[in-house]
Structure 1
Amino acid sequence: MSDTITTDVPARLDRLPWSRWHWTVVIGLGTVWILDGLEVTIVGNLAPRLAEASAGLGITEAQVTGLAAALYVAGSCTGALLFGYLTDRFGRRKLFMITLAVYLAATAMTAVAFAPWWFFVFRFVTGLGIGGEYAAINSAVDELIPSSHRGRVDLAINGTYWLGAVGGALLSIVALNTNFLPADVGWRVSFALGVVLGLVILLVRRNVPESPRWLFIHGRDDEARRLVDEVERTVRDETGQGLSTVHDTIEIEQRETIGFLTIAKTVLTTYPKRTVLGLSLFIGQAFLYNAVTFGYASILTTFFDVDAAHTGYFYAVIAVGNFLGPVALGTLFDTLGRKPMIAGTYLASGILLFVTAWLFSQGVLSAVTMTICWTVVLFFASTGASSAYLTVSEIFPMETRAMAIAFFYAIGTALGGITGPLLFADLTSSGVVGDTVLAFCVGAAVMTAGGIVAIFFAVDAAGKGLESIAAPLTSRTKAGSAAAASA
């Protein structure tokens, strides 16, 4: 029989001042996005080298950018859904250790690939680990970070993907230079460096605890209280600050497991407006990013005569802009609020991409000025895309959090990895200005539509505890349930 308990654990976590303990959480969990950016960028930029006979793999460039990329996307979607469900059922910590282990093992196996089938298999498995990371990590981070910092921290963490992209772009330049490394060694070293970085993250991650919120929901309230007691002692010692007395409590009915149908019903029927919001945000950013980044190298080489070996430098500049957006604007999500910032970043990036398309159609851009335009567009787009992960992580009940992230991530990733190439590949590589302009306009239109949806459906979540934004399914607190039902 289920027990009903009253707990102050969420309020105690939310009122903590920022400390070194929180930095441990951020470094141990958040830096994994660097690995994803590194992975994707390295494979894309090393495709020509992998296709060379001297690389020792026996694979074509079309297979690297086509089949291998599709398998990575399929693995990411599968991993997000599989590990997202397991994260909600068995806990954040257990799964974020498993998903990182899967990534490390698969990347190591990719580095020693000796045949195409081996490369393909472990690109899929690498995707499994990365997709699982998105679900397990975002849910854990949001449940451990104080509500006053949740927006800026979540955005900055998701934005670190682009630090990995910068590293991947620059690393690929070295790996492609046979003066530094032989053709059959450089690409293997690139993957091996990802393993080394992952091992460092694993060492830090061992110190990150289970989410106390997950513990008390699943009948382990004594363990949750002991964990929060320990965290409070650590934070007091680190900051030298006293902690205010907490009066806010929540009453919940503890359950060890919650069925998949209950989770699905909650996301799709209990919160239909929030579901539309999540879909709009993820689809918008998927289309804009594919419109810009899928064919950036082809656009530079075709229209601006940039040497293919030098496109990595341009991509590094774009990636820096992507990283700076969430870092520079993240604080405003906690001060100005979610709705104006989500809608504003989506609308700004969409409108600016329309302007870029018009300038390109007029023939007034060079490789440098086109890159500047892309960088400005993606400064806002990256912030908006990061806010999509923040949004779906905080607007659904705790029992569904990882699965909700997985659901929306899988849809966005599938659209980006399947619809994107089908729609944009021919448009951006045809050599016809009008085709590339159309690609930009499609991406801009869908991103703008996401911003309009956010104006009407975005939730005012800044500075609020997760349980007040969406009451747990097991909540017996009338006020929290009523607030959730009205949203």
Structure 2
Amino acid sequence: MSQPYPSHPSVPTGKSWWGQLGPYQRLVFVVATLAWLFDCLDQQLFNLARSPAMTSLLGQNQTIDLGFITTTAPTLATTIFILGWATGGMIFGSLGDRFGRAKMLSTCVLLYSIATGLSALSVHFVDFCIYRFVTGLGVGGVFGLAVALVADTVPGEVRPRALGVLQSFSAVGNVSAGFIGLAIALTHFGDSPTYWKWLFVIGALPAFLVAVIQMRMKEPPAWLEARERATAQGKKAGSYKDLFGHPTWRKHALLGMTLSCAGVVGLWGIGVFSSDLVGDIITNSLREAGAGAQEISKGKQTWMSINLLAFNVGAFAGMLAFTRATEAWGRRKAFAISFIGSLLVTVFVFQKLGTINGRWDILWMTPLMGFFHLTVFAGFSIYLPELFPTRLRATGVSFCYNVGRYLAALGPLLLGTMIATFAKSAEAEAVKAAGASVSDSALAALKAAAKIDAFRDAASWMCVIFLLGVVVLPFLPETKGQPLPED
């Protein structure tokens, strides 16, 4: 069974979790946390840039007919990004177990930084999606590698707290993206229809972190020992064959993937599109007030950024609370509370956002939704490493967290399809009720309102996915207070 690593002895208890880390353990934690923070910054900058980028590249007609399905350009671009994310996680998680967490982590950060910068040079929807897929490859590898690196380095008694805090700092990256978006919206950069390019340029800056990782980071002794032990026993590190050939690890991988899928689909199929809903609400409100095109654009940018900030302020608090909850109540009970809370709160927010106190209810509704949506992600960073042995830890964590993204990639497509279907039906009913003499401006207003209502209803129906996380919990082990497994 795993023990504190001899090269980094633990400090006597009684100190805070940070005080129990040695200097090098702190360096590992900081670098891994920054890699994940910048990863999340990149994700959220994409969410802010997605809508204006599609308008810039495609104009107002953003309907995409794939033959077998009709969806929208923003949702299709998100799906492609998530597919790259899932693929990168599968590849780099296995490579991390084979060749080293630190090496692969630096590769992933460099990859997503370069591809994000190239996204600013996009001239068409196709090359934009190619850059986003490559960005996804790098983004997808970071989580599993960062979590495994920290789990294999810090003492076991502080591991849950360290991993929970690592995940909580993802909200710092997300909030930073909100401030960046707000700063651009409120300056002259926001007056340009191509302001979204600046978001991607800023997202490329984390490449500088790679140099720090390469110069100072070493592979964890626990990983080196596990790789040597596996070789001596004829086993392979980072082997999917070994992961699925062992009954316990196979069970943990499949159930962990299902658990992760519920959270990932909930966030990327519903939660991140709250900014798009806010954008539509603000656009419709300003248009009804007689605002001009530039005022509408700036107002939309501003409130989408505010929504992102509010969402992630709630997320930061939620992930810290979840970390404490896993210590007090156990992993499974904390997950159950979070999934049920996510379902109830998200339906409430999407149905009521913008209808109670106008745009100002964003400031309390969105943090409430962020609190529940992101809590489970702190759980993934704490719980998933506790399901797999060292030689398969990055592989197992990445499989659970990222294979779910293949299914999650269908979330935006499904949401886009449901929105299009509901909106078409609502538009037809509205026009029928208004009569044939309705003016063009009135017709446009009816269609805009129908789209918003369709958005609300589609997102609310998709919240059923959170119940999947609750259903799978009884079949997973409770790992509170247990050492990391080994085989």
The TM-score bracket by the shorter chain reads 0.7 to 0.9
Q: Does the 8 A contact of 1:427 with 1:439 survive in 2? A: yes
Task: Please state if 1:445 is matched with 2:470.
Answer: no
Under a length normalisation based on structure 1, what TM-score does the superposition of the two structures give? 0.75
Alignment of 1:298-377 (within 5 A): 298=277, 301-302=280-281, 305=285, 307-309=299-301, 310-356=303-349, 360=352, 364=356, 366-369=358-361, 372-377=364-369
Q: Secondary structure at the match of 2:409?
A: helix
Deviation at 1:414, TM superposition (A): 2.3
Alignment of 1:170-209 (within 5 A): 170-176=179-185, 179-180=188-189, 183=192, 186-200=195-209, 202-204=211-213, 206-209=215-218
**Equivalent residue for 1:263, pick from 239, 243, 258:** 243
Instruction: Among all aligned residue pairs of Structure 1 and Structure 2, give the percentage whose two residues are the same amino acid.
Output: 20
Q: Does the 8 A contact of 1:22 with 1:145 survive in 2? A: yes
Partner of 2:224: 215
Q: Does the 8 A contact of 1:35 with 1:198 survive in 2? A: no
Alignment of 1:3-152 (within 5 A): 10=5, 15-16=10-11, 17-51=20-54, 62=62, 65-113=74-122, 116-152=125-161
Q: CA, structure 1 residues 176+367, in 2 after alignment: closer, same or farther (shift >3 Å)?
A: closer
Cα deviation, 1:339-363, whole Å, max 9, x if unaligned, reads 3322222233333335556x73996
Alignment length (residue pairs): 428
Task: Please state if 1:462 is matched with 2:471.
Answer: no
Q: Structure 1: where are the runs of 5+ without partners?
A: 1-5, 222-251, 473-487
Partner of 1:383: 375
> How many Å separate the matches in 2 of 1:208 and 1:338?
31
> How many Å separate the matches in 1 of 2:333 and 2:75?
38
> How many Å separate the matches in 2 of 1:109 and 1:413?
23
Q: Does the 8 A contact of 1:107 with 1:195 survive in 2? A: yes
Q: Does the 8 A contact of 1:350 with 1:444 survive in 2? A: yes
Q: Does the 8 A contact of 2:311 with 2:370 survive in 1? A: yes
Name whichever of 202-211 and 142-151 sits farther off.
Answer: 202-211
Partner of 1:471: 486
Q: CA, structure 1 residues 443+373, in 2 after alignment: closer, same or farther (shift >3 Å)?
A: farther
> How many Å separate the matches in 1 of 2:154 and 2:118?
35
> How many Å separate the matches in 1 of 2:255 and 2:147?
18
Deviation at 1:416, TM superposition (A): 2.5
Q: Does the 8 A contact of 2:76 with 2:413 survive in 1? A: no
Partner of 1:243: none
Name whichever of 432-441 and 212-221 sits farther off.
Answer: 432-441
Deviation at 1:199, TM superposition (A): 0.9
Aligned residue type for 1:284: A
Alignment of 1:387-406 (within 5 A): 387-406=379-398
Aligned residue type for 1:286: V
> How many Å separate the matches in 2 of 1:286 and 1:9?
32
Deviation at 1:10, TM superposition (A): 4.6
Aligned residue type for 2:372: F
> How many Å separate the matches in 1 of 2:148 and 2:357?
42
Q: Does the 8 A contact of 1:148 with 1:464 survive in 2? A: no
Partner of 2:438: none
Partner of 2:257: 279
Deviation at 1:128, TM superposition (A): 0.8
> How many Å separate the matches in 1 of 2:187 and 2:380?
41
Q: CA, structure 1 residues 43+320, in 2 after alignment: closer, same or farther (shift >3 Å)?
A: same
Q: Does the 8 A contact of 1:155 with 1:326 survive in 2? A: yes
Aligned residue type for 1:217: A
Cα deviation, 1:38-92, whole Å, max 9, x if unaligned, reads 2232233234543566xxx678784862443333222111111111121122221
Q: CA, structure 1 residues 300+420, in 2 after alignment: closer, same or farther (shift >3 Å)?
A: same
Q: Does the 8 A contact of 1:99 with 1:129 survive in 2? A: yes
Q: CA, structure 1 residues 461+200, in 2 after alignment: closer, same or farther (shift >3 Å)?
A: same
Deviation at 1:127, TM superposition (A): 1.0
> How many Å separate the matches in 2 of 1:341 and 1:446?
17
Cα deviation, 1:196-244, whole Å, max 9, x if unaligned, reads 23313641564232021221122289xxxxxxxxxxxxxxxxxxxxxxx
Deviation at 1:129, TM superposition (A): 0.8
Deviation at 1:165, TM superposition (A): 2.1
Aligned residue type for 1:44: N
| Over 6 Å off, 4+ runs | 6-9, 57-61
Q: Structure 2: where are the runs of 5+ without partners?
A: 12-19, 63-71, 287-298, 424-448
Task: Please state if 1:167 is matched with 2:159.
Answer: no
Q: CA, structure 1 residues 448+275, in 2 after alignment: closer, same or farther (shift >3 Å)?
A: same
Q: CA, structure 1 residues 365+404, in 2 after alignment: closer, same or farther (shift >3 Å)?
A: farther
Q: CA, structure 1 residues 382+104, in 2 after alignment: closer, same or farther (shift >3 Å)?
A: same
> How many Å separate the matches in 1 of 2:184 and 2:152?
39
Q: Does the 8 A contact of 2:29 with 2:150 survive in 1? A: yes
Q: CA RMSD in A?
A: 3.6
Aligned residue type for 1:279: M
> How many Å separate the matches in 2 of 1:172 and 1:457?
42
Q: Secondary structure at the match of 2:156?
A: coil
> How many Å separate the matches in 2 of 1:275 and 1:29?
23
Q: CA, structure 1 residues 116+424, in 2 after alignment: closer, same or farther (shift >3 Å)?
A: closer
Q: Does the 8 A contact of 1:295 with 1:424 survive in 2? A: no
Q: Secondary structure at the match of 1:218?
A: helix
Q: Does the 8 A contact of 1:278 with 1:391 survive in 2? A: no
Q: Does the 8 A contact of 2:112 with 2:134 survive in 1? A: yes
> How many Å separate the matches in 2 of 1:186 and 1:260?
43
Q: Does the 8 A contact of 1:28 with 1:205 survive in 2? A: no
> How many Å separate the matches in 1 of 2:403 and 2:456?
26
Q: Secondary structure at the match of 1:144?
A: coil
> How many Å separate the matches in 2 of 1:262 and 1:348?
36
Alignment of 1:214-253 (within 5 A): 214-219=223-228, 253=233
**Equivalent residue for 2:404, pick from 389, 408, 412:** 412
Q: Secondary structure at the match of 1:24?
A: helix
Q: Secondary structure at the match of 1:403?
A: helix
